[in-house]
Structure 1
Amino acid sequence: MDEEFVERVLALVESIPVGRVLSYGRIAEHVAAGYGPRYVGRVMSLEGSAVTWWRVVRADGTIAGPLMAEAQMHWLEESTPVRRGRVHMAEALWEPRTG
């Protein structure tokens, strides 16, 4: 995993607006560096505490168990659409502009 990929992932995460989210897979698609969602997860596990990590969720709107309570506090503060403890992806998914 190269440093440019790490920087692109972190920059994209920082650009996610308040109350919106991106999935690991969508981030991987947008940074288009040949790395998949697992690599995005790796970046977030190693470097994500420096950015708005709670705006990065699994495709089903969940987040890793140990982080769930803190993430839910952030989601509440940011008015992120949540249903039954998960981010409501149909409402909260953000699509970055490309091009």
Structure 2
Amino acid sequence: MQEVYDLVRQIPAGRVMSYGQVGDWMVPPLSARIVGRVMYHAPDSVPWWRVVGKEGDLRIARRDPRMAALQRHLLQQEGVRFHEDGRVDMQSCRWQPFEEEA
């Protein structure tokens, strides 16, 4: 779904959105599960690694641990912070579309 991809392309490097958060921005809203399915088919131009579970978990790990390692690597390269348990620090890294950057 092009609208999902367009929004994900706007997520700045070093920031993330959850699947549910992306879905909430769609009209009509989409469930996190549907967003996950859409992201599974994302073209190369979409920074898929910037979309994570609502608690900062790398959901792709359930399906493919190698892809989860790649996702973590790409996020770390962008400066995304992780908790010791491997989850993204959503408090500091969550992006809200159209928010003012400090």
Q: TM-score range by the shorter chain?
A: 0.7 to 0.9
- Pick the aligned partner of 1:58 from 53, 56, 73: 53
- Percent of aligned pairs with the same residue? 34
- Return the alpha-carbon distance in structure 2 between the equivalents of residues 36 and 77 of structure 1: 29
- Return the alpha-carbon distance in structure 1 between the equivalents of residues 20 and 92 of structure 2: 17
TM-score normalized by the length of structure 2: 0.83
In terms of fraction of residues, the more helix-rich structure is: 1
Structure 2 stretches of 5 or more lacking a match?
none
Report runs of 4+ in structure 1 exceeding 6 Å deviation.
none
- Return the alpha-carbon distance in structure 1 between the equivalents of residues 29 and 11 of structure 2: 21
Structure 1 stretches of 5 or more lacking a match?
1-5
1:90 corresponds in structure 2 to: 91
* One-letter identity of the residue aligned with 1:69: A
CA-atom RMSD in angstroms: 1.5
Matched residue pairs, number?
93
Residue 19 of structure 1 and its aligned partner are, at CA, apart by: 0.4
